[in-house]
Amino acid sequence: MKPSTPRVVRVLAATSLRRFWNRVGAFYRRRKKGGRDGTGRKGGRSTIALVLMGLLFGLQSFSISYVYTMRVVETVEQAAGNERFNAELTERVWVRKAPVEDALRPFAVLLTLLVIALLFVGLGSSNQELSQVGWSMEWLFTFPVPTRGLFLAKVGEYALTAFFTWFTFFPLVTTILWNAGYRWWGVPLGALSTLLVAAAVSSLRVLIETYLRKRVPLHRVKNFQAVCTVVGMLLLFLVFALVSRVDVPRVLFTVSDAIGGALLWGPTASVLQIVYRPAGALMVTAWSIGIVLLALRATERQVRDGLVSAGGPYQGTRSAHGRHRPLGGVLSKDLRLLGRDRNFLVQTLVVPALLVVFQFVVNPAFNAAGSPRAVSAIAFGVAAYVLAFGGFRVLLAEQNALWLLFSLPQRLDRLLRRKTVIWGVVAVVYALGVMLYAWRPIDKMQVVDWLAPLSAVGGVFLCAFLAGAMGTIGYDPHEKEIHKKIQPEWSMLYMAVAGMYAFTLATGSLWELFVVNVLTALLVYAVWERVRRRLPYLLDPTAVPTRRIELSDGVLAIFTYSFLSRVISLIFFSLDWPPETIVRTAPLTAAAVTAALSLYLLSRGKSRSVFREVGLRRPSFGMLLWGAALGVALASLGLAYLDGMRHFEWVRELMGTEIQPGVRTAIAQVAVFVAPPIEEFLFRGLLLRGFLRTFSPGKAVVLSAFVFAVIHNPVSFVPVFLVGLCTAALFLRSRSLWPPIALHMVYNAIISYLEIA
């Protein structure tokens, strides 16, 4: 009757697999009519995003490991007197020849550091199970099964799902074995030894977790986790610094000379015995099995008299409360929580600080990059990172007590904005700290060098509001698990926008800095508008009214388009494509992707009216004619204006750069055939429509024309603004995109033709 240990492990493994399968499978199944299948669907999407990110990360670790193993070998060989490094030589050294131990000792130190770091990281803040109130083990304990089976299954689960281990330890060991002459055999051997080491680490983790759950109240556990996070991160940084330095630091060799030889026989690095002979795997197997068995026995002893002994969260810490706080309401509550949940505190505030300090200490290149613009970009980046954790969670921080805020007689978006301000201030402090530390004035300070730091501070505030709104929009009320409640696509979007901003801070011109600020501010306004529309339905998502085009759709599409055209250009550029081909294909690809993506996202599950709403409908012939005629008129105006502008020094400077004739033709082709359709779609079909939802038609037309003019060249600001006004008016009149496209095409054709001629 009573299931045996192997059976328990099998049942639990099958259940875990089933859960994983449901999670992934739910992605492909359509949502049942009226069913509440939301949980699975969203989960599937985030799983796929995670798998993709994991693959990228894994590939990167492999390449880093490969380069690194080569470098260590090179250094060892140089020490041995082999001046030149070549593949043949490595082959000889690695294939079980004399100086092999010299090369292995540094790896032994490195692997040991890595394993210790992995243990700490496993116990740290990312470990959700430890900080949760309801614990699955309590339920499992009510089954008539041997305790050992429950814990063994847990060890197995941890070992197989230890992402950090599989993305760091596995690539490193596999590349070492590959270079040692095992080639493809290195992959299964690497996987096997990673599994063994991961099992040993997991069993220790289970032992410590069980002890903590049993003896330590939950709030202290969180403090402990905070410490583990810091230690683990520091160790990982150290490993990363050792691996990513161009020259392998001497200190690694000094340490490895002292203890590396002994470590080769220990539990953490005996994997390397495989380099000598395949039977070396027995060594690591013996160590791991021994550790797992001992840890399991100790764990069993722990729970002999009950699984839990300490109280629940904060039990035993009752105290009289009555102290007055200067900040009232939501802010006071948030600050109090931040003070008590040290785990969250560390994640949001300490880790980013550590990251910065460590970079400054370890990475000399970071210190040298002291130009005002680079420092501004770095300061902004650090602050944006802080916000990605703190600011993104303004709504999430309410956790399951969200209903409480809904029952308050205050507008929820205002409450959230107040919380956002706090995070903005915190992030600005970080940014200022970095700037104060790294600021070095340079010889020729230009206007943009002075403005960059100012813009960085402003940008941090914009980012705070962006994070607050995006964390709210991305909040998934269907998802039951707190740490999966924010959909990953919104975090990615946030990072893309912050990345664009940082990039412009570092390299952009004055005008580009202006443009990125205008666009980001517009995006902030747009996402908060969306938050305001969405918030009332947060607790009952089924009641959300049919979605219509809103401002955020337009602004996000514009961001996507400019982001994609930049990234695609960079990719084509790195492929060594000829410049005229890049100029032609990059905007075309970006336009096609952006249009398809926007239309898909807007029409998903909605009526066909989206296509009509953006103006994809047949216009009257008269309207097209109007468009063409206005195009001619505006072009002549524009030419006169541009001719007048040439009298200014700065305009001549800006336009003075010589462009090859081939590229010039390609630019003209894009201006006539690619730019008008996509820009009209973005600025009239989406942006103007979005503005129309909150502004009067007159204001909406002017605003859309302004944004349209801003993202173009500063020289032609006025004529482009006029084009924007006319196309917007035409769009409103005809309710079709084609007349504005006709206008835009004619205008661009005339201007481009005369520019070339």
The footprint of other proteins (CB under 8 A) covers 1-3, 7-8, 11, 14-15, 18-20, 22-23, 26, 35-37, 39-40, 43, 134, 136, 138-147, 214, 304-311, 315-318, 480-481
- Please report how close the Cβ of residue 146 comes to other proteins at its closest, in angstroms: 6
Q: How many CB atoms lie within 10 A of CB 513?
A: 20
Total count of residues recorded for the chain: 757
- Please report how close the Cβ of residue 276 comes to other proteins at its closest, in angstroms: 44
Give the C-alpha separation, 490 to 486, whole Å. 8
**C-beta closer to other proteins: residue 212 or 283:** 212
- Please report how close the Cβ of residue 138 comes to other proteins at its closest, in angstroms: 5
- Please report how close the Cβ of residue 14 comes to other proteins at its closest, in angstroms: 8
CA distances from 188 to 66, 197, 513 (A): 17, 14, 51
Q: How many CB atoms lie within 10 A of CB 216?
A: 16
Q: Cα 110 to chain center, whole Å?
A: 28
CA distances from 255 to 110, 492, 636 (A): 10, 40, 75
Lookup result for tokens 């955020």 = 552
Q: How many CB atoms lie within 10 A of CB 576?
A: 7
Tokens of 171: 């690539």
- Please report how close the Cβ of residue 183 comes to other proteins at its closest, in angstroms: 39
CA distances from 60 to 53, 63, 65, 66, 241 (A): 11, 5, 8, 10, 15
**C-beta closer to other proteins: residue 304 or 618:** 304
Helix (H, G, I), strand (E, B) or coil at 318: coil
**C-beta closer to other proteins: residue 414 or 483:** 483
Contact of 411 with 447, CB cutoff 8 Å: no
Contact of 288 with 196, CB cutoff 8 Å: yes
- Please report how close the Cβ of residue 302 comes to other proteins at its closest, in angstroms: 10
- Please report how close the Cβ of residue 426 comes to other proteins at its closest, in angstroms: 33
CA angle, 649 then 654 then 659, to 5°: 130
**C-beta closer to other proteins: residue 301 or 693:** 301
- Please report how close the Cβ of residue 147 comes to other proteins at its closest, in angstroms: 7
**C-beta closer to other proteins: residue 39 or 363:** 39
**C-beta closer to other proteins: residue 47 or 371:** 47
Orientation of helix 100-123 relative to helix 87-94, angle to 10°:
80
- Please report how close the Cβ of residue 86 comes to other proteins at its closest, in angstroms: 52
R_g of the chain, CA atoms, integer Å: 30
Contact of 602 with 547, CB cutoff 8 Å: yes
**C-beta closer to other proteins: residue 9 or 599:** 9
- Please report how close the Cβ of residue 35 comes to other proteins at its closest, in angstroms: 7
**C-beta closer to other proteins: residue 160 or 432:** 160
Tokens of 745: 């095409």
CA distances from 145 to 34, 340, 428, 687 (A): 39, 37, 54, 62
Give the C-alpha separation, 461 to 653, whole Å. 34
Give the C-alpha separation, 307 to 214, whole Å. 6
**C-beta closer to other proteins: residue 7 or 183:** 7
Helix (H, G, I), strand (E, B) or coil at 475: strand
**C-beta closer to other proteins: residue 9 or 255:** 9
- Please report how close the Cβ of residue 559 comes to other proteins at its closest, in angstroms: 34
Q: Which residues contact 221 (CB under 8 A, 6 or more apart)?
A: 130, 131, 212, 213
**C-beta closer to other proteins: residue 306 or 605:** 306
Q: Which residues contact 690 (CB under 8 A, 6 or more apart)?
A: 526, 549, 550, 551, 552, 553, 554, 555
- Please report how close the Cβ of residue 492 comes to other proteins at its closest, in angstroms: 23
- Please report how close the Cβ of residue 156 comes to other proteins at its closest, in angstroms: 16
- Please report how close the Cβ of residue 372 comes to other proteins at its closest, in angstroms: 49
Give the C-alpha separation, 236 to 395, whole Å. 31
Q: Which residues contact 672 (CB under 8 A, 6 or more apart)?
A: 745, 748, 749, 752
Best CA proximity match to 249, nearest among 138, 397, 113? 113
- Please report how close the Cβ of residue 304 comes to other proteins at its closest, in angstroms: 6
**C-beta closer to other proteins: residue 316 or 328:** 316
Contact of 343 with 373, CB cutoff 8 Å: no
Helix (H, G, I), strand (E, B) or coil at 364: helix
**C-beta closer to other proteins: residue 24 or 633:** 24
**C-beta closer to other proteins: residue 145 or 415:** 145
**C-beta closer to other proteins: residue 18 or 652:** 18
Orientation of helix 697-710 relative to helix 717-734, angle to 10°:
140
